[in-house]
Chain A
Amino acid sequence: MREEQNKLLMRRFFKAFQVGDRATLAELLAPEFAAHLPGQSEPMDRETFLQQVIGGFSAAFSDQQYTIHVQIAEGDRVATLATWQGVHTGDFHGHPPTGNEIALSGIAIDLIEGNKIVEHWPRHDQLDFMQQLGLMPEPEQAS
């Protein structure tokens, strides 16, 4: 069944992401792959994604782990709800390591054609991420 194959492919993607396995990712991402990242008006191409996102996360975070909570597949699309965890042990886009353990939930929607990912829409709460990295003030607790 195509949906189950697509879910399996997305689990391979997140597994390769967490260990920075660019060879596997290069195999899973279509040449015309486009990542639609928050705050960016233009999609990111495959090479840039591998270098900046995968390379950037591998350099900045150790012990990365994705825990997949839910996968929803219909036709050629898969939605994944997952929690990403990592330890900030390296430089992250100019931000020196804090040693912070970070946990972040997000949803990704992926379009899969010919057994490869062609569109990737990851969403997480960037505010929460920056707060955990110590780059933003923590919110006041609601009274």
Chain B
Amino acid sequence: MSLEENKAVVRRFYQAFAADDHDAMNALLAPDLVAYSHGEGEPQNREVHLQGISGWNAAFESEFTIEEQIAEGDSVATRMTSRFTHNRGGFMGAAPTGKESVNDSMSIERVKDGRIVERRAIADWSGIMQQLGLVPLPEAEH
């Protein structure tokens, strides 16, 4: 796989996340995926990671605008503008408000044979939760 193909795999993953397209996410995430939602700490397997995304998508509409990607070997770093709108469902007991957050976030993915085998996502969750009016803070889901 070329660097450009690896970048495209990551872009397709974010499209599938925003569309809550689990067939596409299953195709793009390797069965033995290791996901770190806060960069380090306890990793999630694919099933738990997808459950987290489902839970998020049940409450929020997400839109990811890819700003830049940097690739080397099997790794891809992505910087994106993430727009979340709390318009779908309740989140940790808070009813949807229609509020929106716009933040810059980043991730690093490792891609093997066209599938993501490892991902680390970093976002400013305090900024996102403040913009969504969800402070005092409930647990950040991922």
Interface residues of A (CB under 8 A from B): 3, 36, 38-39, 70, 72-75, 77-79, 81, 83, 105-107, 109, 121, 123-128, 130, 136-137, 139-140, 142
Shortest 3 CB-CB distances between A and B: which pairs? A105-B39, A79-B77, A127-B126
Bound-state Cα–Cα, A115 to B10, Å:
29
Q: How far is the CB of B107 from chain A (nearest CB, A)?
A: 8
Nearest CB in chain B: distance from A77 CB, A: 5
By beta carbon, the residue of chain A nearest B124 is A38
Contact B138 A105 (CB under 8 A): no
Beta-carbon contact of B120 and A123 below 8 Å:
no
Binary interface encoding of chain B residues 113-142 relative to chain A, with 1 for a CB under 8 A from any of its CBs, else 0: 000000010111111010000001111100
Please state if A106 and B126 are interface contacts (CB–CB under 8 Å): no
Cα distance, A127 to B126, chains bound together (Å):
4
Asked whether B108 is an interface residue with its Cβ less than 8 Å from the other chain, the reply is yes
- Please measure, in the bound complex, the distance between the C-alpha atom of A137 and the C-alpha atom of B103, giving whole angstroms: 22
Q: Give the B interface residue count (CB, 8 A).
A: 34
Residue numbers of B with Cβ under 8 A of A are: 3, 36, 38-41, 68, 70-73, 75-77, 79, 103-108, 120, 122-127, 129, 136-140
Contact of A124 among B70, B76, B122, B139 (CB under 8 A): B122
Q: What are the residues of chain A within 8 A of B108 when measuring CB–CB?
A: 70, 72, 79, 81, 107
Given that A105-B39, A107-B108, A125-B39 are known contacts, is A38 also in contact with B127, CB under 8 Å in the complex?
Answer: yes
The answer to whether A79 and B70 touch across the interface, beta carbons within 8 angstroms, is yes
Asked if A123 meets B105 with Cβ closer than 8 Å, knowing A79-B77, A136-B126, A139-B140, the reply is: yes
Which residues of A are found within 8 Å of B107, using beta-carbon distances? 107
Whether A73 contacts B72 in the complex (CB less than 8 A), given A38-B127, A81-B108, A109-B79, comes out as yes
The answer to whether A109 touches B122, judged by C-beta atoms less than 8 angstroms apart, is no
Closest residue of A by beta carbon distance from B40? A105
Cα distance A31–B71 in the bound complex, in angstroms: 27
Rounded to whole Å, the gap between the CB of B93 and the closest CB of chain A is 11
List of A residues within 8 angstroms of B137 by Cβ: 127, 136-137, 139
Task: Give 25 pairs: A residue, B residue, CB < 8 Å, sorted on A.
Answer: A38-B124, A72-B72, A72-B76, A72-B77, A74-B70, A74-B71, A74-B72, A79-B70, A79-B77, A79-B108, A83-B40, A105-B36, A109-B68, A109-B79, A121-B79, A121-B104, A123-B105, A123-B106, A124-B39, A125-B38, A125-B126, A127-B125, A127-B137, A136-B126, A137-B137
Q: Nearest residue in B to A110 (C-beta to C-beta)?
A: B70
A106 to B126, alpha carbons, bound, how many Å? 14
